[in-house]
Amino acid sequence: MIHKYKRSKRLAPVQILALGFVVAIVIGAILLSLPIASQDGNSTPFLDSLFTSTSAVCVTGLAVVDTGTHWTYFGKTVIMILIEIGGLGFMSFATLIALIVKKKITLKERLVMQEALNTFNIQGLVKLAKYILIFTFSIEGAGALLLSTQFIPKFGVAKGIYYSIFHAISAFCNAGFDLFGNFSSLTGFADNSVVILVISGLVIIGGLGFYVWQEIYNYKGIKKLSVHTKLVLTTSVILLVAGSILMFLFEKNNPATIGNMSLKNKLLSSFFASVTPRTAGFNSISTTDMTAAGNFLTIMYMFIGGSPGSTAGGIKTTTIGLLIMTVVSVIKGKQDTEIYKRRISKQTVYRALSVVMISFSVVVIVTITLSITQVKVPFEYYLYEATSAFGTVGLTLGLTGKLTAVGKVIILITMYIGRVGPLTIAMALARKRRLNPNSVRYPEGKILVG
């Protein structure tokens, strides 16, 4: 009985994963609330520090205080570290420390790593964690080097290098934090092809997922790629191309966004506007001045997000791709969902549908709650803010700075759910369960649909 009691008290991997994010958020909030973290030398209100820490760990980018002007370099560095931890997951860093001190990785730790990295099994997880760390630091280093060619001439050597490193990490981890002040994001670099393309590249690489990049690295022909990788790449390319074209059509005559730009800069800004809503949170054009169609497309992209096992949030590209292919299969009269001549199990389809419905429900509830408790603004502001928080994006129409204490709590909880919830729910549903031979199977009922 004592043994059973101890076993019942053990935390499941998904619980450890969720608590790990909480611990990182609380520690970050405490550090950010110290007087040394703010420019005026006074302690930042704990709720604002907690909001910023949650936004950083959940790689969202929403901010109630201006990141570039409010925080000292100590505070900015804390935020940068929290972004890295949140993007890669605290288990990756725990693995790094364990490898440094030559500590053996236990089975339970491997199970937690499986939940955190969203992989199919626990084989080769330590090797995968090493690959993730090396890959991440290499890509971020290359990104920082390219950004430094633009930032050093503009800000000087020391500041330029720091800004390059910060924004490379923020972009790769799909966080969207920037240091340019006045909540301006990258609007001052809308005509700088190097900055826009490098940031875009980092966002895309970070949002594809480490499992996909591992397969690409070991590429041995298109037929050798898994169905997962093919679906991620196909869906991502379609979203990027379609988003760029639609954003160009929606905004090309809008003088407040890209209407007065040259054709090259119009295309560049349209491409960037289709990249960043997929949970990155940077913007090179004014979000508040975008057309209704542009904002609606942004909301859709924020909800979809990036790919599984990546630094991005949202319901994930594979989820939406799987559901679309399910609809196609139904229309064709097929019994199973088929993708690339492979049959997808009904359990996987059910999980995808569950993730979408749970995510949609959360966004709806948060939107309604914000509309009741916050300042009166157009309805799309509430929906935009709720979707941005849940998708861990960071874009806003200006509502974040107007949030009351209640609103800040609502949004920080939403950011946490968005970063941990869908992943935890999906993995919890994915866990294999033994079938009960004595379970009752009810007679089939018929329902008219459509």
pLDDT digits (tens, 9 = 90+) for 431-440: 444 445 555 7
Residue 105 has pLDDT above 70, yes or no: no
Which of 172-206 are b and which e, b meaning 16 or more Cβ less than 10 Å from the residue's Cβ?
A: bbbbbbbbbeebebbbebbebeebbebbbbbbbbb
Q: What is the pLDDT of residue 55?
A: 93
Region 118-145: mean pLDDT is: 76
Q: In which band, very low, low, confident or very high, does the pLDDT at 134 lie, cut at 50, 70 and 90? A: confident
Q: What is the pLDDT of residues 37-87, one digit of tens each?
A: 999 999 999 999 999 999 999 888 899 999 999 999 999 999 999 998 888
Residue 18 has pLDDT above 80, yes or no: no
* pLDDT more than 70, % of the chain: 81
Q: What is the pLDDT of residue 245?
A: 96
CA–chain centroid gap for 125, Å, is 22
Out of 105-119, 249-263, 283-297, 365-379, which region has the weakest mean confidence (pLDDT)?
Answer: 105-119
Q: Tell me the range of 105-114, 117-126, 393-402, 424-433 where mean pLDDT is highest.
A: 393-402
Q: What is the pLDDT of residue 243?
A: 95
Cβ atoms of 355 and 426 within 8 Å: the answer is: yes
**Alpha carbons 250 and 254: distance in angstroms, whole number:** 8
Q: What is the pLDDT of residue 39?
A: 93
Q: Which two tokens stand for residue 201?
A: 């590249």
**Alpha carbons 37 and 57: distance in angstroms, whole number:** 17
What is the bridge-based pairing of β-strands 337-339 and 342-344? antiparallel
Q: What is the pLDDT of residue 414?
A: 93
Residue 170 has pLDDT above 70, yes or no: yes
Neighbour count for residue 354 (Cβ, 10 Å): 15
Helices (H), 276-310: 292-304
**Among 305, 302, 306, 271, CA closest to 285:** 271
Q: In which band, very low, low, confident or very high, does the pLDDT at 1 lie, cut at 50, 70 and 90? A: very low
**Alpha carbons 265 and 192: distance in angstroms, whole number:** 9
Q: What is the pLDDT of residue 433?
A: 47
Q: What is the pLDDT of residue 7?
A: 46
Q: In a 10 Å sphere around its CB, with 0-12 CB exposed, 13-18 middle and 19+ buried, how is residue 127 labelled?
A: exposed
Residue 427 has pLDDT above 60, yes or no: no
Cβ atoms of 179 and 189 within 8 Å: the answer is: no
Q: What's 306's DSSP letter?
A: S
Q: In which band, very low, low, confident or very high, does the pLDDT at 232 lie, cut at 50, 70 and 90? A: very high
Q: In which band, very low, low, confident or very high, does the pLDDT at 359 lie, cut at 50, 70 and 90? A: very high
Q: What is the pLDDT of residue 412?
A: 92
**Alpha carbons 205 and 171: distance in angstroms, whole number:** 9
Q: In which band, very low, low, confident or very high, does the pLDDT at 9 lie, cut at 50, 70 and 90? A: very low
Residue 132 has pLDDT above 90, yes or no: no
Q: What is the pLDDT of residue 73?
A: 95
Which of 44-59 are b and which e, b meaning 16 or more Cβ less than 10 Å from the residue's Cβ?
A: beeebbbbbbbbbbbb
Cβ atoms of 86 and 114 within 8 Å: the answer is: no
Q: In a 10 Å sphere around its CB, with 0-12 CB exposed, 13-18 middle and 19+ buried, how is residue 289 labelled?
A: middle
Maximal CA-CA distance, the chain: 74
**Alpha carbons 28 and 310: distance in angstroms, whole number:** 22
Residue 155 has pLDDT above 70, yes or no: yes
Out of 89-103, 186-200, 291-305, which region has the weakest mean confidence (pLDDT)?
Answer: 89-103
Q: Is 79 helix (H, G, I), strand (E, B) or coil?
A: helix
Q: What is the pLDDT of residue 362?
A: 92
**Alpha carbons 91 and 353: distance in angstroms, whole number:** 28
Residue 407 has pLDDT above 90, yes or no: yes
Who wins on pLDDT, 210 or 117? 210
Residue 266 has pLDDT above 80, yes or no: yes
Q: What is the pLDDT of residue 3?
A: 44
Q: What is the pLDDT of residue 429?
A: 47
Q: Is 339 helix (H, G, I), strand (E, B) or coil?
A: strand
Tally of residues, the chain: 450
Identity at 374, one-letter amino acid code? Q
Region 210-223: mean pLDDT is: 78
Place of tokens 């499992």: 211
**Alpha carbons 149 and 152: distance in angstroms, whole number:** 6
Which backbone phi and psi does 339 adopt, to 5 degrees? -135, 125
